[in-house]
Amino acid sequence: MNCELARKNTTLFLYGELSIEEEQTFQDHIEACADCSAAFEAEKRLHTALDQRQVDVDPALLVRCRRDLSQRLESVRPRSGLLDWLARLSDLRIAALAKPAAALALVAVGFFGARLTTPRQPITSARDVAALSSADPSVMRVRYLEPSASGRVQLVVEETRQRTLSGSVNDDQIRRLLLAAARESTDPGLRAESMDMLRSQHASGELRPVLVYALEHDPNPGVRLKALDALKAYGREADVRAALTQVLLTDDNPGVRTQAIDLLVEDKDDSTAGVLQQVVQKDNNSYVRLRCQKALEEMNASVGTF
């Protein structure tokens, strides 16, 4: 490899876009050529500098986008059941001869529709529809409806009721809700923030499994990084080390893998070198491999496996 090609490949090497053979040739050249080695170091500094640019999304903007999309989808979503039938009926080009029949059908529909929209009986046994005014903080979604011959209708609704709670993170109820949010919220921002709030709760013993679960299963790399950060306090625990090893070998995000290396190396044990050696051999990201190599060198361990 000549210097011109090595300079070109520097970018691809750092992005993990070279084949294994190309990487090997590149590394051989870098070790032998002081100029290209210096250029490589400069390129790494460029990457580090570019990484400092914040790219996180404003949670308020995300919430607004989701809310408005949901409303727009409601307006374009095909209607089903009675509403769909009503819509289709209104679209019909009614022939003059069919007008009386259509008028009768519309009267019947109006009667049935009125029962749907202004029921005289509760839709569910627990709630009167009249109570569901616009001031009601509930969000309801009809999941299923079943009309009966008597003109009544049974609705199955999903209901979300908003309520404001305030208190210390030490309060049992607040802590349990935060733990649930950290694990189950559909909003990754909320999951990450809940973890942050709970970090002071080392003594409770409930947080660590939630963090380990998030590290291994959360689909959002930002949340996994947050979990990793919070797990620094538990770096010596066996379950944490097992999760870190698993993440290092399988997580698809190189940033998460890099952080996992740092945490594993902070409290080395007998298995650490073996895991790092595996990563050096198999990881497709050159930076992750470099971090492992460096960690192995600091441990005076061999880079290769035997």
| Interface residue list for other proteins (CB under 8 A) | 8, 11-12, 15, 17, 42-43, 45-50, 52-58, 60-62, 64-66, 68-70, 72-73, 76-78, 80, 186-188, 219-220, 250-255, 283-284
Say if residue 185 is exposed, middle or buried (CB neighbours under 10 Å; 0-12, 13-18, 19+): middle
- Give 119 or 255: the residue with its C-beta nearer to other proteins: 255
Least distance to other proteins, CB of residue 176, Å: 24
d(C-alpha 292, C-alpha 261), whole Å: 7
Dist. CA 62–CA 70, nearest whole Å: 12
Taking CA atoms, 73 is separated from 66, 87, 222, in Å, by 10, 17, 28
73 versus 165: smaller Cβ distance to other proteins: 73
- Contact between 190 and 178 (Cβ < 8 Å): no
Rg (CA), the chain: 30
Nearer CB in complex with other proteins: 72/236? 72
Please report how close the Cβ of residue 43 comes to other proteins at its closest, in angstroms.
Answer: 8
| Closer residue to other proteins (CB): 193 or 283 | 283
Shortest Å, Cβ 17 to other proteins: 5
Between CA 273 and CA 117 the distance in angstroms is 68
CA 241 – CA 64 distance, rounded (Å): 39
Residues 6+ apart with CB under 8 A from 37: 30, 31
Residues, the chain: 306
Closest approach of other proteins to the CB of residue 22, in Å? 12
**Contact assessment for residue 165 and residue 174, using Cβ atoms and an 8 Å cutoff:** yes
Tokens representing 126 are 């627990």
What is the spatial distance between Cα 257 and Cα 63, in angstroms, rounded to a whole number? 29
Query: Closest distance between other proteins and the C-beta of residue 186, in Å?
Result: 6
- Other beta carbons within 10 Å of 154: 11
